[in-house]
Amino acid sequence: MDSYAFCVEPFTEDVNGLLALTVLGNQLLRVADYSASKHQFGFLNVKEKHHVWVLSRLIMEMNRRPKTYEKYHIGTWVNRVYRQFTDRLFQVNDSEGKPMGYAHSVWSLIDFETRMPVNLESDETKAIHDAVSDENVPIAPSGRIRLSDDAKETNRIIAYSDLDINGHVNSICYMRMAIDQVFTDYPALVHPKSHFVQRIEVQYMRESYFDDKTLRIKTEQRDKDTFLVEIIRNLPDGTGVESVVKAAVTLLPFEG
């Protein structure tokens, strides 16, 4: 396991005074690259072969999040390599080494000219296999996310600040959109000050772009604590729509 030290900086907290989940999500992606780079398959390493890592799935489950100026560690390791996918796991520990939560991510490696996935079971990707550790994380795997025709639906303009270095809406921004929309759509059930995101699962299926102009965000309550979200893109030629991201957000009462 590669482990990286962090401290909750002022102005990175959510409304409950805890490290914002989107900031933590960003740090997971960052340590994923630190760790991959250490083992010679980071963004800069694969870029030489015209490849790029693409996030396919991210599950975060945090029973506690650190407070302002609290120190914590993010440990990360590759757990599995199969066909065109690799699983990277994360453990977030407090300063005494006690787990606060876990995350599970799935990545594929894409050729940025052909957009085709690279077979990760080849000799070329030996460095990834060498980094595999069997250790698992005690969180539920990703589930099926399917919204009904009764889901609520909102148009969301794609903003300048949603975009990443590749001109796509960035991965963590979709997570932010999903959480925000649930709080907006279910004010009688959840409120930012009385609830916190205990688990979020995001399935990344396609990309969207500034010139798409708007996304459609659907939400639906699945059970008492869990809400489903689907983010949909209008195809530029007006011929239809496609699902870009699906998410499941679990909100629990915040005890302070």
Which residues contact a second copy (rule: CB under 8 A)? 9-17, 20, 22, 26, 29-30, 33, 43, 68, 157, 159-161, 163-165, 167, 170, 172, 176, 179-180, 183-184, 191-193, 210
CA gap 224, 189 in Å, rounded: 9
Residue with smaller CB distance to a second copy, 91 or 171: 171
Residue with smaller CB distance to a second copy, 22 or 250: 22
Residue with smaller CB distance to a second copy, 50 or 83: 50
Three-state DSSP string of 140-153: CCCCCCCCCCCCEE
Least Å distance between CB 187 and a second copy? Answer: 9
Residue 170's alpha-carbon distances to 67, 110, 206, 208, 250, in angstroms, are 26, 17, 11, 9, 22
DSSP per-residue codes, 105-153: EEEEEEETTT-PBPPTTSGGGHHHHHTB-----SS---------TT-EE
Residue with smaller CB distance to a second copy, 134 or 255: 255
Least Å distance between CB 15 and a second copy? Answer: 4
Least Å distance between CB 34 and a second copy? Answer: 9
Least Å distance between CB 42 and a second copy? Answer: 9
Residue with smaller CB distance to a second copy, 126 or 213: 213
* Residue burial 35-70, b: 16+ Cβ < 10 Å; e: rest: bbeeeebbeebbeeeebbbbbbbbbbbbeebbeeee
Least Å distance between CB 65 and a second copy? Answer: 13
Residue with smaller CB distance to a second copy, 55 or 147: 55
Helix (H) or strand (E) run with residue 27 in it: helix 21-38
Least Å distance between CB 4 and a second copy? Answer: 11
CA gap 87, 72 in Å, rounded: 23
